[in-house]
Amino acid sequence: LEWQDRHLWLPNLMPLTSRESESCEMFCYKRSNVCSERGLQFTSINSCDAMRAMYNCSSCVAHRNRNWAPGFNATDKVCYINVMYNASALPNCTIWAKHVARLCPCVPLDKYYEPTVAFHNVSHTRHMDAEVQATDADYRKAREAHPSGCYPTITDFTDEVDEKCGAYLSNVSNIRTIKVMAAPFLFARTVKFHVHYHEPGIRAVLKVSQDGFL
């Protein structure tokens, strides 16, 4: 993509700073939000200006292989952004790196599917205390946003909720994308796939026996 084509504005995006060694996915989920990969890849969050607004950077480096960027290395105080060089190195929500605090594009669950609008610089950044946990109201919003019964931010499942979520995950019509995961051994017992569902924030790992392939 051309540089100007990468610049979108997500109206409900909140640029927030994660803890060190924490992925944006987990950081946003703990606040009943969803990490938007569009926000990492197509907004000005991935810029030195945004990083300097959030961190006391000793320098800002554009790197092609840091898919945890934009991020701040707490050991040397260097800020990193991603140059969007190729698909395998694009910034994503699930990656974390030791001693790195990430600049995360969190979006409220109920606003995740709202359309993007014309380019607009990130002009209002928000800090959130990393120790602040979701409130009861946040949990209610999470339940409302996930009719499937699969709640990425809530662990107090019941048998009824487990059954509902299991039915959603096993229905192939709910799957948005399937991507094979790298296997360390050719003769591993299973082939693993990373599955993304249509409902925001719902992902799973699918294991398939290799017996049928060998």
Per-residue pLDDT of the chain (214 residues; tens, 9 = 90+): 333 444 555 667 888 999 999 999 889 888 878 888 888 877 778 889 889 999 999 999 998 788 899 999 999 999 999 988 777 778 888 889 999 999 999 888 766 655 544 433 433 333 334 444 556 666 676 677 778 888 765 655 677 878 888 899 999 999 988 887 655 445 556 777 888 888 877 888 788 876 655 4
- DSSP letter assigned to residue 148: T
The residue assigned the tokens 């540089």 is 3
CA dist list (Å): 101 to 9, 10, 62, 202, 212? 23, 22, 16, 24, 43
Return the biggest CA–CA distance within the chain.
55
Cβ 3 vs Cβ 114: under 8 Å: no
Angle 123-141-156 from CA coordinates, rounded to 5° = 125
Question: What are the residue ranges of helices labelled H in the chain?
Answer: 24-29, 37-42, 48-54, 136-145, 159-170
Output the six-digit token pair for 170.
């096993």
